[in-house]
């Protein structure tokens, strides 16, 4: 009789413990944080010269600050002792220039400056550990910012006086309502101003294909003639696809359709425990490649403009490289939005990427078979703690303001899960090991190389991107042996992409590099290319037209004879999965 193998009790116990811990640590590995702290502490205590320098810096700055504070208490026009960093919006209001709030804000900024000095530049500390400790120090200091407390925030005091205290009462009500929703795990109210399929993701079209992983949407034409080559958009699976089909005025899909393009969109299935073993290979094969197969049946004998956003762009790049390796010439061009191909400088997200952290996260996912939305949101919330935690707390709980909602915020709240295997694979193979840029990433039984890609590439990066920093995105120039049109646009990871014509205060820089051109460092590139006012969508639309062959009559929606009939109206069913 064959004996069933016994379960791995030791590993199971460890995973259960880590999964329970992770619910209270926002998915952060205590071991990873402890190692970083001990590395910093050990090297600091063994650097008496650095300690002496830190103490000298503290005493010198404290003495100078005392003299400044005495002057600033009598003169509100006194120049600041410390100028906040360009992106720091906390103390911009004129109220912070008045005594005693000017002293409070400048004292806080002085502490921030000193702790940055104390946590960086310690000889011997690993760069990753230094970044983690410095980041943790900033997060801890943010808790004590004078903006976060009623008595030390002049805007809160002024509004409380103006409203007779009603702003604080309203703030308390907002706090209690949020606590109730969180404790009871209640969904957002149904009477929100934005609804998917009504005023979000509302561009007309049909679902022409569905498998376990994707629905493929083909959008209805609005012009008498269209470009012969269709457009396939591969969005990131970390969020719903309709960031590219938001409201009518800022929908990229509608813009492309109105410009005379046949547009297909992948809408990803929101995975559950049954999908735990779906990996990167499944997302490539059952996602991009199945979509291309359908498009080739709906519009035969036409190449495809492949477009990818964020991780969807990385996946599109992998698909393009694998197709080039296998002499598959079905692509007309490749467009990438804020998509990284080299992950050596992947921004502050790398703070959460090391062996300890990934093992901890894998144990958390093992518990359910997927990474849920709350676990995933933890890291992004910490990276943007001012925007996502503190400013919201001040606005809603201290100033008593009602939450403001727009279409981008509604989309951002509609998050998705990620399967255990796929999330583990892409974090390890892309972020931790950088296999794609190093030529080690395998598709099937062989590695791929981005240098095999020969189709023209259009690459978009955004100036204030915290997920895919533009200098990291820029590395595409070093990895591809083809013509690359690179655009650096204003805005962040999401808002910089949703940048429709007519959007105020938008500008971009554009440059073209051929395969024969010599390398230009990223910062030199910025200096060489002038800034242009307007939306980058317009030069991209011109680029797509330039790289299309001719104009033809719009194709039918789907192809029943080939086995791909229209099976549901857009936006389909997967977009509604919770």
Backbone angles phi, psi at 537, to 5 degrees: -55, -35
Residues paired with residue 196 on neighbouring β-strands, in sequence order:
200
Yes or no: say if 272 and 417 are a contact pair by the CB < 8 Å rule. Answer: yes
What is the Cα–Cα distance from 476 to 471, expressed in whole angstroms?
10
- Is 310 a catalytic site residue? yes
**CB count in 10 Å sphere of residue 243:** 25
Check 213, 278, 310, 398 and give the catalytic one: 310
What is the Cα–Cα distance from 66 to 72, expressed in whole angstroms?
10
Q: Is 197 left (phi over 0), alpha (psi -120 to 50) or beta?
A: left
Which tokens in the block code for residue 48?
A: 């008496």
Backbone angles phi, psi at 470, to 5 degrees: -65, -35
What is the Cα–Cα distance from 48 to 50, expressed in whole angstroms?
5
Question: 414 burial class (0-12, 13-18, 19+ CB within 10 angstroms)?
Answer: buried
Backbone angles phi, psi at 312, to 5 degrees: -65, -30
* C-alpha pair distances (Å), 451 with each of 77, 426, 476, 477: 58, 21, 10, 10
Yes or no: say if 441 and 429 are a contact pair by the CB < 8 Å rule. Answer: yes
Question: 502 burial class (0-12, 13-18, 19+ CB within 10 angstroms)?
Answer: exposed
- CB neighbours of 533 closer than 8 A, spacing ≥ 6? 506, 507
Residues in the chain: 578
Name the DSSP letter for residue 163.
T
Nearest of 27, 3, 123 to residue 376 by alpha carbon: 27
Q: Which sequence positions are flagged as catalytic?
A: 310
């Amino acid at each position: 009789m064959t004996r069933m193998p016994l379960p791995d009790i030791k590993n199971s116990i460890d995973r259960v413990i880590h999964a329970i811990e992770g619910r209270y640590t926002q998915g952060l590995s205590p071991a990873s944080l402890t190692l970083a702290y001990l590395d910093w502490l050990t090297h600091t205590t063994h650097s008496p010269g650095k300690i002496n320098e830190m103490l000298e810096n503290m005493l010198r700055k404290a003495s100078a600050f005392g003299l400044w504070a005495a002057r600033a208490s009598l003169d509100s026009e006194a120049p600041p002792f410390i100028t906040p960093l360009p992106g720091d919006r906390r103390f911009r209001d004129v109220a912070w220039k008045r005594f005693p709030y000017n002293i409070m804000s400048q004292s806080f900024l002085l502490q921030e400056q000193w702790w940055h000095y104390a946590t960086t530049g310690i000889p011997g500390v690993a760069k990753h550990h230094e970044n983690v400790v410095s980041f943790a120090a900033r997060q801890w200091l943010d808790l004590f910012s004078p903006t976060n407390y009623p008595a030390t925030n002049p805007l809160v005091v002024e509004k409380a006086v103006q409203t007779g205290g009603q702003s604080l009462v309203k703030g308390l009500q907002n706090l209690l309502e949020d606590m109730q929703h969180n404790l009871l795990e209640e969904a957002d109210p149904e009477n929100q101003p934005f609804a998917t399929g009504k005023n979000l993701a509302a561009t007309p079209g049909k679902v022409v294909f569905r498998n376990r992983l994707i629905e493929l949407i083909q959008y209805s034409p609005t012009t008498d003639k269209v470009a012969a080559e269709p457009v396939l958009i591969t969005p990131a699976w970390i969020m719903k696809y309709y960031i590219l089909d938001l409201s009518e005025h800022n929908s990229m899909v509608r813009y492309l359709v109105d410009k005379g393009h046949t547009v297909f969109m992948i809408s990803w299935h929101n995975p559950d425990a049954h999908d735990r073993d779906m990996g990167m290979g499944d997302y490539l094969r059952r996602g991009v490649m199945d979509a291309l197969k359908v498009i080739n049946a709906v519009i035969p004998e036409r190449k495809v403009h492949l477009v990818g956003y964020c991780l969807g762009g990385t996946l599109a790049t992998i698909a393009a490289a694998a197709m080039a390796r296998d002499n598959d010439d079905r692509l007309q061009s490749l467009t990438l939005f804020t998509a990284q191909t080299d992950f050596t400088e992947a921004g502050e997200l790398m703070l959460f990427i090391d062996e300890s952290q990934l093992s901890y996260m894998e144990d958390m996912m093992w518990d359910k078979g997927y990474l849920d939305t709350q676990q995933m949101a933890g890291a992004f919330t910490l990276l943007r703690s001012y925007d996502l935690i503190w400013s919201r707390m001040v606005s809603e709980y201290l100033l008593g303001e009602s939450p403001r909602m727009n279409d981008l915020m509604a989309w951002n709240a509609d998050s998705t899960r990620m399967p255990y295997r796929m999330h583990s694979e892409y974090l390890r193979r892309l972020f931790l090991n950088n296999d794609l840029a190093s030529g080690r990433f395998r598709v099937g039984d062989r590695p791929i190389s981005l240098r095999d890609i020969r189709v023209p590439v259009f690459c978009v990066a955004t100036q204030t991107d915290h997920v895919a920093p533009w200098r990291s995105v820029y590395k595409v120039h070093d990895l591809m042996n083809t013509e690359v049109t690179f655009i650096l646009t204003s805005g962040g990871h999401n808002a910089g992409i949703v940048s429709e014509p007519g959007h105020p205060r938008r500008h971009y820089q554009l440059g073209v590099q051929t395969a024969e051109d010599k390398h230009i460092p990223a910062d030199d590139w910025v200096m060489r290319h002038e800034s242009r006012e307007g939306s980058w969508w317009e030069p991209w639309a011109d680029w797509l037209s330039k790289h299309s062959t001719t104009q033809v009559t719009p194709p039918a929606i789907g192809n029943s004879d080939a086995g791909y009939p229209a099976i549901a109206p857009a936006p389909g069913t997967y977009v509604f999965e919770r």
